[in-house]
Structure 1
Amino acid sequence: QTRCMAFRFLKAGSLAYRTTALRRCFICSFGQPLGGEFQMGFEAARTALHFRVKDEVGSLKKVLDLIEKDGFNMSDIHSRPMRSSGSSAEYEFDVQFAESYSAEKLDLLQGQLSSLCSLVKVYGTRDEDIPWFPKKISDLDKFAAKTLDAGAELESDHPGFKDAAYRQRRCDIVDIAKKYKHGDRIPRISYTEDEIKTWGVCYSHLRNLYSSHACRQMNEVFPLLEKYCGYNEKNIPQLEDISTFLKQATGFSLRPVQGLLSPRDFLNGLAFRVFHSTQYIRHHSKPLYTPEPDCVHELMGHVPLFANPSFAEFSQEIGLASLGATDEEIEELATVYWFTVEFGLCKEVTQDGKETVKAFGAGLLSSFGELEYCLSDKPTLKPFEPAVAAKTKYPITEYQPVYFVADSFESAKLKVREFSRTKQSRPFQVMYNPYTQSVEVLNTKQKILDKMRATNIQAEFLRETLASLI
Structure 2
Amino acid sequence: MIDCTLATSGRPSIALLSHSFDNNVRTRSTMATIVNSTSNSIPSMQSRYRMNTYLDVPLDGKGKFYLIITLKEGVSKLIASLKIFEAHKVNVVHIESRPSRKEGCYDFLIECNGMKEQCDTIFNMLHSIADRVSVQSFGPERACRDAVPWFPQKIKDLDLFADRILTYGAELDADHPGFKDEVYRQRRKIFADIAHNYRHGQPIPRVEYTEEETKTWATVYRELKQLYPTHACREFNHIFPLLEQNCGYSENAIPQLQDVSEFLRECSGFTVRPVAGLLSSRDFLAGLAFRVFHTTQYIRHSSSPKYTPEPDVCHELLGHVPLFADPEFAQFSQEIGLCSLGAPDEVIQKLATLYWFTVEFGVCQQNGQRKAYGAGLLSSFGELQYCLTDEPKVLPFDPEVTATAEYPITSYQPLYFLAESFHSAKERLRNWALSIPRAFNFRYDPYTQRVELLDNAEILSRFVHDIRNDLHLVENSLKKIDVHTEMDGKDNYER
Short-chain TM bin: 0.7 to 0.9
The alignment status of 1:386 with 2:399, answered yes or no, reads: yes
Q: Deviations over 1:79-104 (max 9, x none)?
A: xxxxxxxxxxxxxxxxxxxxxxxxxx
Aligned position for 1:292:
310
Give the count of matched residue pairs.
363
Aligned position for 2:289:
271
Aligned position for 2:181:
163
Measured after TM superposition, the shift of residue 292 of structure 1 is 0.1
Distance 2:370 2:195 in 1: 37
Measured after TM superposition, the shift of residue 463 of structure 1 is 1.6
Aligned position for 1:15:
23
Alignment of 1:270-419 (within 5 A): 270-349=288-367, 355-419=368-432
The alignment status of 1:204 with 2:222, answered yes or no, reads: yes
Residues 154 and 451 of structure 2 are in contact (CA less than 8 Å); yes or no, is this contact kept in structure 1? yes
Measured after TM superposition, the shift of residue 13 of structure 1 is 5.6
SS in 1 for 2:346: helix
SS in 2 for 1:134: coil
Q: TM-score, normalised by structure 1?
A: 0.75
Distance 1:43 1:272 in 2: 23
Distance 2:444 2:468 in 1: 18
Residue identity opposite 2:6 in structure 1 = A
Distance 2:180 2:188 in 1: 13
Q: Deviations over 1:290-340 (max 9, x none)?
A: 000000000000000011010000000101111111111000001000000
Aligned position for 2:258:
240
Alignment of 1:418-429 (within 5 A): 418-422=431-435, 424-429=436-441
Aligned position for 1:444:
456
Measured after TM superposition, the shift of residue 377 of structure 1 is 1.2
Aligned position for 1:85:
none
Where structure 2 has 5 or more consecutive residues not aligned to the other structure, the ranges are: 11-18, 28-46, 51-142, 483-495
Residue identity opposite 2:219 in structure 1 = V
Residue identity opposite 1:395 in structure 2 = P
More moved, 371-380 vs 445-454: 445-454
Residue identity opposite 2:472 in structure 1 = E
Q: Deviations over 1:228-269 (max 9, x none)?
A: 100001100000000010111111001000100001100000
Alignment of 1:11-50 (within 5 A): 11-12=19-20, 14-16=22-24
Residue identity opposite 2:155 in structure 1 = I
Aligned position for 1:218:
236
Measured after TM superposition, the shift of residue 427 of structure 1 is 1.0
Residues 18 and 327 of structure 1 are in contact (CA less than 8 Å); yes or no, is this contact kept in structure 2? yes
Measured after TM superposition, the shift of residue 452 of structure 1 is 1.2
Aligned position for 2:468:
456
The alignment status of 1:193 with 2:237, answered yes or no, reads: no
Distance 2:8 2:463 in 1: 35
Aligned position for 1:469:
481
Residue identity opposite 1:340 in structure 2 = T
Measured after TM superposition, the shift of residue 447 of structure 1 is 1.2
Residues 17 and 328 of structure 1 are in contact (CA less than 8 Å); yes or no, is this contact kept in structure 2? no
Distance 2:159 2:48 in 1: 30
Distance 1:412 1:280 in 2: 32
Distance 1:137 1:278 in 2: 19
- Structure with the greater relative contact order (CA < 8 A, sep ≥ 6): 1 or 2? 1
Distance 1:212 1:451 in 2: 44
Residues 203 and 233 of structure 1 are in contact (CA less than 8 Å); yes or no, is this contact kept in structure 2? yes
Match among 184, 189, 192 for residue 174 of structure 1: 192
Q: Deviations over 1:338-374 (max 9, x none)?
A: 000000000101xxxxx11100000000001000000
Distance 1:178 1:152 in 2: 11
More moved, 163-172 vs 285-294: 163-172
Residue identity opposite 2:167 in structure 1 = D
Measured after TM superposition, the shift of residue 7 of structure 1 is 5.3
Distance 1:273 1:8 in 2: 24
Structure 1 residues 44 and 130, CA gap change in structure 2 (3 angstroms): closer
Structure 1 residues 337 and 7, CA gap change in structure 2 (3 angstroms): farther
Measured after TM superposition, the shift of residue 155 of structure 1 is 1.1
Where structure 1 has 5 or more consecutive residues not aligned to the other structure, the ranges are: 20-41, 46-122, 350-354
Identity of aligned residues (%): 54
Distance 1:458 1:230 in 2: 37
Alignment of 1:127-146 (within 5 A): 129-146=147-164
Residues 25 and 281 of structure 2 are in contact (CA less than 8 Å); yes or no, is this contact kept in structure 1? no
SS in 2 for 1:425: coil
Residue identity opposite 1:272 in structure 2 = F
RMSD: 1.9
More moved, 396-405 vs 437-446: 437-446
SS in 1 for 2:319: helix
Q: TM-score, normalised by structure 2?
A: 0.71
Distance 2:310 2:26 in 1: 26
SS in 2 for 1:3: coil
Measured after TM superposition, the shift of residue 157 of structure 1 is 1.0
Measured after TM superposition, the shift of residue 2 of structure 1 is 4.2
